[in-house]
Amino acid sequence: MRRRLRPFRRRSTLIGLALVLGFCLLAALAPVLAPPLNPDDPWPFMNISQSFSRQPQPPGPGLPLGTTPQIQNMPQYGIAPGQDASFQWDVYYTLVWGARSALRFGLVVTALTALIGITVGVISGYVGGLSNLLAMRVTDAFLAFPVIAGVWVIQRAFYGNIYNPFNDPMTLTGWEAFLYRARIDPIMIAFILFSWMPYARLMNAQARRVKNLDYIRAAEAMGATGGRVIWRHLLPNTIAPAIVLAARDVGGMVILAAAFIFIGFGGNVAWGTMLVSSRDFVIGLNGNPFAYWWTFVPISLALILFGVGWNLLGDGLNAALNPHGR
């Protein structure tokens, strides 16, 4: 055990672990750190003042990180149709609650993509033959598909009613109501459907590498079923690189989702939505890019640190699980 834990004493791994735990803590303590107005249905944005000014308010008493004007014309769960758009958003509040949405998005997407990819890869690799050829062809075809197009297709196909500003979301029924209530956005579905391929390729190669080794052969000779061989023998010995990949993916997925929200897809990663609203103020109104620094620096930093944390954790896991390589 001591030997196993040694890579975790590396400074970079410790930093990564601290960052990830920090964000988890931020998410868990969100109601304490930034009390929501309505504790039953916390929304990651806090509307501050209602005035006609779209000028961000600088940090001051009661507003640790100032405000940024609420964005307009962006589909966003929770904005009632026709809601007045002259609100300001509390930056600190979104920084805290955004950790929750980021973790939720990253963990759900990564867990499901890893599950799909590992299942496809291991089964096709172990069974081999024609099914392997077929599965890998399908995997390669999906690899050629830009996820951004997938987001668009899914948004168009399933979210017509949900994003319709003239619909009251409370009148939705069936799966539309489910998607709305569970706050599942098109980006999440598209990421799950169109980013499992690396796991499939990785696990396929792993399965083919070990399936003719003695211990697998021995298990088969003892009469174990295919499912049991995969579950008890093959997976535990081959899954390490997929775990490393997954750890790195959590951050990457959230950053990519934020980028999609930024260029105009609506989504539920609150940091991304807030960055859209601060876009106009990054360009700096009087030649000084940092004139309105509080509208984007804290959120950008949170996003960057979120990615760095998971990346470092992935590197640490890699060193721990795969002591020979890298």
Partner 1 sequence: MPPFVKQLLLRLLALPVTLLIITAALYGVIMLAPAEERAQLYIPPRTPPLTQEESQQLMDRLVAEHGLDDPYPVQYARWLSDLLRGDWGWSPTFKADVLTLLKKRLPVTAELTFYAVLVILPTALLGGVLSGWRAAGRFDRGYRLTTFVATSIPPFILGLFLLSIFYVGLGWFPPGRTGIYELSLSTSDFRAITGFLTFDGLLNGRLDVVADALRRLVLPVFTLSLLYWATVGRVTRVAMIEEQTKDYLLTARAKGLRERRLEWRHAFPNAAGPALTAMILSAAGLVTGVYIVESVFDFNGLSELITKGFFVAPDAPLVMGFAVFSVLLVLPIILLFDLLRVALDPRLREDGLEL
Q: Which CB atom, from 39 or from 287, has the smaller least distance to partner 1? A: 287
Instruction: Rule CB under 8 A: say whether 255 interacts with partner 1.
Output: yes
CA 42 to CA 103: how far, in whole Å?
Answer: 16
Kindly indicate which of the ranges 103-111, 121-129, 230-238, 307-315 contains the residues binding partner 1, using the contact rule CB under 8 A: 307-315
The reply to whether 307 sits near partner 1 by the rule CB under 8 A is yes
Stretch that binds partner 1, among 47-55, 210-218, 239-247, 303-311 (CB under 8 A): 303-311
Question: Interface with partner 1 includes 98 (CB under 8 A)?
Answer: no
Residue 200 Cβ, how far from partner 1 at the closest point, in Å?
A: 12
- Whole-angstrom distance, CA of residue 236 vs CA of residue 260: 36
Q: How far is the CB of 149 from partner 1 (least distance, A)?
A: 4
Residue (107 or 305) nearer to partner 1, CB: 305
Place of tokens 């799909």: 116
Provide the mask over 6-45, with x wherever binding to partner 1 is found by CB under 8 A and - wherever it is not: ----------------------------------------
- For partner 1, the closer CB: 12 or 119: 12
Which of these ranges, 17-25, 219-227, 235-243, 276-284, lies near partner 1 under the rule CB under 8 A?
276-284
Binding string, 140-179, against partner 1, x = CB under 8 A? xxxxxxxxxxx-xxx-xxx-x--x----------------
- Specify the stretch interacting with partner 1 by CB under 8 A; choose among 23-31, 78-86, 94-102, 305-313: 305-313
Nearest distance from residue 152's CB to partner 1, in Å? Answer: 5
Three-state DSSP string of the chain = CHHHHHHHHCHHHHHHHHHHHHHHHHHHCHHHHCCCCCCCCCCCCCEEEECCCCCCCCCECCECCCEEECCCCCCCCCCCCCCCCCEEEEHHHHHHHHHHHHHHHHHHHHHHHHHHHHHHHHHHHHHCHHHHHHHHHHHHHHHCCCHHHHHHHHHHHHCCCCCCCCCCHHHCCHHHHHHHHCCCCHHHHHHHHHCCHHHHHHHHHHHHHHCCCHHHHHHHHCCCCHHHHHHHHHHHHHCHHHHHHHHHHHHHHHHHHHHHHHCCCCCCCHHHHHHHHHHHHHCCCCCCCCCCHHHCHHHHHHHHHHHHHHHHHHHHHHHHHCCCCC
Q: Is 201 in the site for partner 1 (CB under 8 A)?
A: yes
Contacting residues toward partner 1, per CB under 8 A:
73, 75, 137-138, 140-150, 152-154, 156-158, 160, 163, 193, 198, 201, 255-256, 258-260, 262-266, 275, 279, 282-284, 287-289, 296, 300, 303-304, 307-308, 311, 325-326
